[in-house]
Amino acid sequence: MQFQSNVTKKMLSSVSIAALAVTVAACGGGGNDNKGAAPTNSPAASEAPKNEGGDKAEKPQLRQLLPFERFDPNKDPVAAYLKEKTGYDVKYDQLPAENADEKLNLLMANQEAYDFMKLGKSQFARLAASGALEPLDDLIDKYGTNMKQVIHEETWNSVIVDGKKYGIPEGTAGTQVGTELVVRQDWMDELGLEIPTTTDELYNVLKTIKEKKNVIPLTGGKDPMVGDIASTFGITTDWVERDGKLVHAVELPEMKEYLAFMNKLYEEGLMDPEWGINTSAKAIEKFSSGKAAMYRLAWWDAGNINNALAKNFPDAKISIIPFLKDKDGKTQVVGSAGVTYVVAIPKWAKNKEDAMKLIDMKLEKDIHKGLAIGEEGVHHEMKDGKYYPIHPKFADEWNNASYFLTGTDQDNYPIYWQARVRKDENVQKYFETYQENAKEHMVIDPLTYAPPIEAISKNTQKLAKLREDSFIKFIGGVEPVDNYDKFLAQWKSQGGEEMIKAANEWYQSNK
């Protein structure tokens, strides 16, 4: 399946890239891709190691551009491991922590001598559209033996522009769920309450807690979309198929029903009155200090919240509320999947073939496993058929390993990656329970593996902010839900209609 972009490709020139830099800078940089600092200064390169297999030709030193992180990748043990296993010496540079997009545009305008780059998805979309990137189909066919085997076909769709592959997609650690409602089980026992399974039961539990315990029944942090509740109204992913077409969640009539229910909770004091201004940290503090009974908890926060609660209330207990059922008894849970980064080669790169060879070597089974979780018996161990980190060695030497990925073995990497959640007993318990509760119920967005779609890329951020602000007003009663159609008209006029059209153009040609 391939998305045929309307963008016309052209050969890169200094003028065209300079124009790109001006254009994007005018639009503003940042976003989720702004993880990056001035290029790091690595030590002078040592002599490049010899090719394996008796080839005496020296491998060139390669240069890679990466997002910002607070460590020097050139001094990281994982970099040394990759050099030893692949024979390639790589000099790693980072984008700045601030104004990363502007810096990237400047580097591209100057045709900086990078052999490959790890880009955020929006960065990749802009550079692919500008003509700055090398089409990789021929290089993949010639040198991509491993990647063609371990990267799924649907994942490749995310890097296809005008029928050609312009990057190597780095898939996530599998399809997962990140959050689920939790409740103070000791209070449930005290009040003789059962764990709710539907929104009606949830409402009754919250009402009883408010009346009997005089605490905040349900707390949360600003996000107006509580997935555990929204899914019972048929609201799941941003895009859904209805009658053979893609529609955005804001268009669904069920959205008004969900907002009306949440407004009811708010008006009756069953949810945090400070929901619209809470941070996640503030909501967690309210739950762990005994001010709130229920919270939608991310599994990665499970260690901190359990430790804080145990310190404040040694006899307190937490239960995970299994995902609620809708009026027809069906459970739906949004799964997170897709592509985190894209690895691309600039059109002017001097060592394109060697860059592709290295990227593919990193996906060879044993090298990839070592990259993901280090050496068995040193960094990780196997117990009960599962990988566990060995501390402190794993944390000291392999904590940054995912930073060095340039693609993933999509069948095996999620298994390796789970060693990371087993560094804490509570984190492991909550992660594994959430996934088990969601099993057989997960749905993913139909655009999860879509390639860059310009109309969506340029409008998503501003429309998401419009939706968040408007929904908080609807829930808090500042704006009556009856005015929802006015919001929808505004959403469509400010780019939503354009997104819907573009999404369906891709979807209809790739079903």
The separation between CA 405 and the C-alpha centre of its own chain, rounded to angstroms, equals 15
Backbone φ/ψ region at 30: left (φ over 0), alpha (ψ -120 to 50), beta: left
Domain identity same for 65 and 212: no
Q: Is 467 helix (H, G, I), strand (E, B) or coil?
A: helix
Q: Are residues 379 and 292 in the same domain?
A: no
Closest listed residue to residue 407, CA positions, set 347, 344, 468, 460: 344
Q: Is residue 439 part of a domain?
A: no
**What does the alpha-carbon distance between residue 274 and residue 51 come to, in Å, rounded to a whole number?**
62
Answer with the one of 353, 375, 409 that is the final residue of a domain: 409
Report if residue 416 sits inside a domain.
no
Number of domains in the chain: 2
Tokens 């007993």 appear where? Answer: 425
Domain of 374, in residue numbers:
14-173+338-409
Whether 381 and 472 map to the same domain: the answer is no
Asked if the structure places residue 287 within a domain, the reply is yes
User: For residue 360, what pLDDT is reported?
Assistant: 98
Helix H, strand E, coil C: the string for 101-133 is HHHHHHHHHCCCCCCEEEECHHHHHHHHHHCCE
Look-up: residue for tokens 């449930």?
Answer: 188
Is the distance from CB of 109 to CB of 323 less than 8 angstroms? no
Asked whether residue 300 is domain-assigned, the answer is yes
| Same domain (yes/no): 327, 357 | no
How far is it, in rounded angstroms, from Cα 342 to Cα 17? Answer: 20
Structure tokens, 443: 């749905």
Predicted local distance difference test score (pLDDT) of residue 56? 52
Q: Quick one: pLDDT at residue 511? A: 76
For the stretch 281-332, pLDDT in tens is 999 999 999 999 999 999 999 999 999 999 999 999 999 999 999 999 999 9
Residue 73 belongs to a domain: yes
Domain end (from 352, 382, 409): 409
DSSP 154-210: HHHGGGEETTEE-SEEEE-SSSB--EEEEEEHHHHHHHTPPPP-SHHHHHHHHHHHH
Distance CA 202, CA 198 (A): 6
pTM (two decimals): 0.85
**Cα 470 to Cα 465: distance, rounded to the nearest angstrom:** 8
Residue 352: in which H helix or E strand, if any? helix 352-361
Average pLDDT for runs of 10 along the chain of length 511: 34 37 35 35 35 61 98 98 98 97 96 97 93 98 98 96 96 96 98 98 98 97 94 97 96 98 98 95 97 98 97 98 97 96 98 98 98 98 96 97 98 97 96 97 96 91 96 97 98 98 94 76
pLDDT of residue 400: 97
Q: Is 423 inside a domain boundary? A: no
Helices 454-476 and 121-130, interaxial angle, to 10°? 150
Please list, in sequence order, all residues whose beta carbon lies within 8 angstroms of the beta carbon of residue 288, skipping any fewer than 6 positions away: 305, 308, 309, 312
Whether residue 156 is found in the same domain as residue 144: yes
With beta carbons less than 8 A apart as the criterion, state whether 201 and 335 touch: no
3 state SS of 5:
coil
Residues 72 and 133 in one domain: yes
- Distance of alpha carbon 159 from alpha carbon 331, whole angstroms: 32
* 188 domain-assigned: yes
Domain harbouring 464, CATH code: 3.40.190.10
Three-class secondary structure assignment of 281-310? HHHHHHHHCCCEEEEEEEHHHHHHHHHHHH
Domain's final residue, options 350, 376, 409: 409
* One domain, residues 251 and 111: no
